[in-house]
A and B are shown apart, each in its own frame.
Chain A
Amino acid sequence: MINKIYLNPGHASKIKKIFHANKLLPNIKLAKFLDVAFYAALRKEAINAKYSQLNEPMKYRYSEAKTPKILDKFLDSKKFKDFVFKITGKKIRKVNGNLWSFGWKDYTMLRDKKIEKPGFDLIIDFTDLWNEDAKGFVVYVDETGQHNKLFSIGTILTIVQRNKNVKRYAQYVNNLAGKNRRYFYFGTF
């Protein structure tokens, strides 16, 4: 299920080094993380999932669906957990998350009153065609106030370590998106 190039023992230490290079916001983006057939199966499930729109104007507007069983099983597999441990040093008990879908006018805001506990975010992107200018990417604001946009499209696995005082939001999707939508799994551990 994981692309063989990422299972090469020599690569893990290089990836770990890249992950920890940003001290304020350790993160890594791995393109083509999954093998082609498994990614295609997951993407089909993600796009056809039953989404419900969440809309609290002062906080967010986007659509969410339950994680498909096939993805839950993969995230709970020893192989995946071991891989993440090698990079982050964090033992995963369980990844908690959902499928998210963003179209025109969707967003999430920083919520000043809700400080999240430090932890890790995991994003698997299923968006094939996306105009970067339409926005809709997840942005992390570190303790210095610096905004770090994490560009992501289909096949990319992103892992981010949120230290104390790091907050995140998903950029407002503008009219350049047209009828296209972003699809991704968003989980924390």
Chain B
Amino acid sequence: MITDQTTSEDFIHDRKHSYAHIKGWGIDADRKNDPTYPIKQRNNAEHRGYSWQRPLPQDKTVEILQSVERPNLTAVFGTSVPPAGISGMVRRVAFKYSESSYGRWLPLMLADRVQVLEGIVKDLSSGHIPNIPKELGLSSEWKYNRKAMLTKAAVGLLVAGAVIFRLCRSGKRP
């Protein structure tokens, strides 16, 4: 693994040994057999050893959750929306698992939904009442799809009315 202490020399492969003892070594090698062309511009790094001079590291001023598949932070990273609250706690747990685990991704989806509620609470506690219809972009629905919008609204009202009516009736029964 490449760590902050790793130098590029540490990654140079020592392949001075010979393959002469392997009968037929490389006899069918074909440089044209390369499905990565032209996307990947081969530079023999696969054989020479991956190494690079890392960019200067960005100062870490907020909490950054880091994949367990990395030994260190990348040289730069985004600093928007650090983990916080209950959703942040869930995210921290998720990041204990690798990217190949449901343990990583399902808690993150849960945290995303929890944070929606946290966002509403935060809005209200700061005196901001979210304009949900506006946030949903319903004015464009009204402008371009009015008939369908009214139909959906009417159906919704009818269903809601029927449910309420049914509940009221069942509540009156002895």
A binds B: no
Residues of A near any B CB (own CB < 8 A)? none
